[in-house]
Chains A and B, each alone.
Chain A
Amino acid sequence: MKKQDPDLLLFHAPLLRQGMTTPTAMRDVLYALLPATAAALWFFGLSAVLVLGSCIAGAILAEWLFADRQARGESLRDASGILTGLLLGLTLPPGLPMWMAFLGGFVAISIGKVIWGGLGHNLFNPALLGRAFLLATFPIAMTTWVPTGGDGGFLSIYPGNLALPFMQVQVDGVTSATPLGMLKFDHELTPLTSLVFGNVSGSLGETSGLLLLLGGVYLWLRRDLDWRIPVSILLTVVIFSACLGLVDAARFPSPLFSVFSGGLLLGAIYMATDPVTSPVTPRGAWIFGIGVGVLVMLIRIFGGLPEGVMYAILLMNAATPLIDRYTQPRVFGRGVDSK
């Protein structure tokens, strides 16, 4: 090699890339959640900021604490930790004490992701694992729901938010049941328009079905999401509840109520589609979605809890490696003969 030659690198072909990177995909999901997050602020005021902020702070702290010393900045930059924190926050009740939300975010990353080996290696959706932890640890606080729109407008804070660690939670404010809770325990139906536009009590992110769908369409256009999963979940739920409606239309909720109530849209569009914890094969995605849909309906109708999206997704997460193994696509040229 002569002196004036450039030092040639030997990167393996292909040298071209389609342009999308993993951090971009993560950030896309954050952008897709912006409308629903804004709706949470609109409906629950400053309390939403406190709960979401605590979750994200807990997630980032765990991410920073357990990261490799050299890779500290890197693991934060891929945005997956912030996303987990935000997703967890959106599943929490608006009146949850901040310290619980913070702990939830911390557990979601540390137990949900880091101990499995970090991004891409976890079996369960970290945000839902964090929520399952909170529900098991603080069952009362996690099922205390407040109505939308505090007394003092945007700046009002639900008193529960400011509770100190390990103190009895003061449930002195007004409480209100979620649409699914009302259906299950009081046999009372919430009007569909409220469900679609979000003026109902419930978790921070599950109030407005319309905005969640909007974000889903954005993700689908950006090709960040496997459309088969939300489509199969929602179709399963619709068909399941339509069949129940045929049995007894008065007792069971209508298909549209089933779709727009509770955390179904949030779960189907943003949690079940987590690529790490859902099947990678197209056929597997269908099986996974149908499984989630069936489990959601079984828990909602026959289980002890009003809502079952979280456990439905976590259970199907556990089945994902098995589904992947048995749904490998047919390889080109295999299983055909030459004539």
Chain B
Amino acid sequence: MKAIRLLRRNFEHGVHPAHHKQQTEDLPIQRVPFVKDYVMPLGQHIGVPARPVVAVGERVRRGQLIAEPGGFVSTGLHSPVTGTVSEIGDFRGVDGRFAPAIGIEADPFATQQVDAGAAIDWQSLSLEKFIEAVQMAGIVGLGGAAFPSHVKLSVPDGVKIKHLLVNGAECEPFLTTDHRLMLERPEALLEGAEILRQKLGAEETVIGVEINKPDAINIIRQHIQPGQPVRVVPLKVKYPQGAEKMMIKSVFGKEVPAGQLPRDVEVNVNNVGTIVAIADYFLRGMPLIERVVTVAGPGVTYPANLIVPLGTPVREVVRFCGGLKPGTREIIMGGPMMGRPIASLDVPILKGCSGVLVFTEEQTVGRKEYPCISCGRCLEACPYFLNPSRLARLSKARMFDEMKEYHVFDCVECGCCTFACPSNIPIVQLIRTAKDDLTHRKESEE
């Protein structure tokens, strides 16, 4: 039975959105030119915001540390350009709220050479020093969550990691950044994975890729040295294949218990982009100052895969892609299933931003909400086997406490239920409202 399940390589439930990757999957990654103004929010990762270590008017070089970690769950921040610190203060963030950030004005005459240190002798670093280095390099999960990578690597004593799982599923429609990275930089990917595997003491590296990227699977397999403990596992195309607990189920057939982490089943999961960032830092001394972003969607003139310095305003990225088509109604940062809408084009590209997707009328307005008819499509979509229909009803009635009985906090907001809902009920939003309310109330009680 277990063998059959392993052969099927799948998790249960989930949905099959059209993947819409044709727009950009064959376009090589290109670099966007430098622009004048950059904004580096201090809290662009999950956790405590970073603390500035530069002052207004100070000259900074590209790659120079401009903010240090504000705590353990926090990372360093580096200047994406050579220029001058123009402002340290509140800028409008993705969600429209003001948040502290460092403004940098690029020096138009600088060569924009990276202020990279030498390669780091990672093999002789102790595990603690290695983890600290990852933190200072500002490396976070580049798949979208922007969770500081060093926290994931800090495994408590007695817990052993057997498998390093590299997440190359890229199950979000439209996005092709991981696909292009695997095609164009397979060596860096394998180098980064080897560094992590050795440091974690894992037995093997498993690279999970959805089978709609056969070229990536082939090219990685060609680059694996004989005897290297690396294997590529093709996965069924299904959303959310790239959610780490789903991928662990698909690859190893194991279910991570609720409230626990992948390390509890001896697995460490990292995104392709994150692994490449680790290789770039330890082998080439380059901290996280830029990332690959897919610009696509029906409202963008020339879709592209771009290397964008962090802090570049979305406006400049879109301008580089030929601007917005008339009829643009919404811009999403990230993927269309889990990304966040932006309120203004002046929002900067962040570490967790894998895509800038431009949508028109068809995907936004004109969707009428109907009453829930309990058709059960959301139950069959939810990879966590929750009852979204019930959760949405309870949330509408503001019966948030009752939602805990239905395990509302197990929801990862993947959006499958809302995708599947024929009544267009914003289920994820209703669940999020309840979670926020419950969390705030708990905090104010404490």
When distances are taken between beta carbons in the complex, the residues of chain A under 8 Å from B426 are 12
Q: Does B406 contact A (CB under 8 A)?
A: yes
Q: Does A14 contact B (CB under 8 A)?
A: yes
- The answer to whether B324 touches A6, judged by C-beta atoms less than 8 angstroms apart, is yes
- The answer to whether A275 touches B373, judged by C-beta atoms less than 8 angstroms apart, is yes
- The answer to whether B257 touches A331, judged by C-beta atoms less than 8 angstroms apart, is no
When distances are taken between beta carbons in the complex, the residues of chain B under 8 Å from A334 are 257-258, 407, 410
Residue of B nearest to A223 (CB): B377
Q: Does B156 contact A (CB under 8 A)?
A: no
Bound-complex Cα distance A223 to B381 (A): 13
Q: Does A3 contact B (CB under 8 A)?
A: no
When distances are taken between beta carbons in the complex, the residues of chain B under 8 Å from A18 are 15, 17, 377, 419-420, 422
- The answer to whether B374 touches A24, judged by C-beta atoms less than 8 angstroms apart, is no
Bound-complex Cα distance A281 to B377 (A): 10
Q: State whether A1 and B245 are in contact (beta carbons under 8 Å apart), knowing that A20-B422, A281-B387, A333-B410 are contacts in the complex.
A: no
0/1 interface trace, chain A 4-23, chain B, CB 8 Å (1 if under): 01111111111111101111
- The answer to whether B341 touches A11, judged by C-beta atoms less than 8 angstroms apart, is yes
Residue of A nearest to B387 (CB): A328
Choose among A11, A78, A280, A328 the residue that contacts B330 (Cβ–Cβ < 8 A): A11
- The answer to whether B359 touches A15, judged by C-beta atoms less than 8 angstroms apart, is yes
Choose among B331, B338, B374, B429 the residue that contacts A8 (Cβ–Cβ < 8 A): B331
Q: Does A25 contact B (CB under 8 A)?
A: yes
When distances are taken between beta carbons in the complex, the residues of chain A under 8 Å from B324 are 6
Chain A count of residues within 8 A CB distance of the other chain: 47
- The answer to whether A332 touches B410, judged by C-beta atoms less than 8 angstroms apart, is yes
Choose among A12, A276, A331, A336 the residue that contacts B373 (Cβ–Cβ < 8 A): A276
Residues of chain B in range 349-364 having any CB-CB distance to chain A below 8 Å: 359, 363-364
Of the 9-residue stretches A118-126, A191-199, A234-242, which lies at the interface with chain B? A118-126
Q: State whether A10 and B330 are in contact (beta carbons under 8 Å apart), knowing that A18-B17, A119-B373, A333-B384 are contacts in the complex.
A: yes
Residue of B nearest to A281 (CB): B379
Residue of A nearest to B266 (CB): A338
Choose among B260, B330, B334, B345 the residue that contacts A338 (Cβ–Cβ < 8 A): B260
Minimum CB–CB distance for B286 against chain A, Å: 31
Residues of chain B in range 362-380 having any CB-CB distance to chain A below 8 Å: 363-365, 367-368, 370-377, 379-380
Minimum CB–CB distance for A316 against chain B, Å: 15
Minimum CB–CB distance for B288 against chain A, Å: 25
Residues of chain A in range 249-274 having any CB-CB distance to chain B below 8 Å: none
Q: Does A226 contact B (CB under 8 A)?
A: yes
Minimum CB–CB distance for B63 against chain A, Å: 31
Bound-complex Cα distance A15 to B337 (A): 6
Q: State whether A16 and B387 are in contact (beta carbons under 8 Å apart), knowing that A8-B344, A118-B371, A275-B373 are contacts in the complex.
A: no
0/1 interface trace, chain B 429-446, chain A, CB 8 Å (1 if under): 100100000000000000
When distances are taken between beta carbons in the complex, the residues of chain A under 8 Å from B340 are 13
- The answer to whether A332 touches B371, judged by C-beta atoms less than 8 angstroms apart, is no
Bound-complex Cα distance A8 to B419 (A): 21
Q: Does A69 contact B (CB under 8 A)?
A: no
Q: Does A151 contact B (CB under 8 A)?
A: no
- The answer to whether B387 touches A12, judged by C-beta atoms less than 8 angstroms apart, is no
Bound-complex Cα distance A121 to B255 (A): 36
Q: Does A337 contact B (CB under 8 A)?
A: yes
When distances are taken between beta carbons in the complex, the residues of chain B under 8 Å from A118 are 371
Residue of A nearest to B13 (CB): A332
When distances are taken between beta carbons in the complex, the residues of chain A under 8 Å from B429 are 12
- The answer to whether A280 touches B374, judged by C-beta atoms less than 8 angstroms apart, is yes
When distances are taken between beta carbons in the complex, the residues of chain A under 8 Å from B424 are 17, 21
Minimum CB–CB distance for A3 against chain B, Å: 12
Choose among B336, B365, B379, B406 the residue that contacts A14 (Cβ–Cβ < 8 A): B336
Q: Does B76 contact A (CB under 8 A)?
A: no
Residues of chain B in range 255-303 having any CB-CB distance to chain A below 8 Å: 255-260, 264-265
Bound-complex Cα distance A22 to B418 (A): 13
22 A-B residue pairs with CB within 8 Å: A5-B345, A6-B324, A6-B328, A6-B329, A11-B330, A12-B341, A12-B429, A13-B339, A18-B422, A21-B424, A22-B370, A22-B373, A22-B375, A22-B422, A25-B422, A119-B371, A120-B374, A281-B387, A332-B245, A333-B255, A333-B259, A333-B384
- Beyond A7-B329, A16-B173, A331-B386: 6 further Cβ-contacts under 8 Å? A14-B17, A276-B373, A332-B245, A332-B385, A336-B255, A336-B257
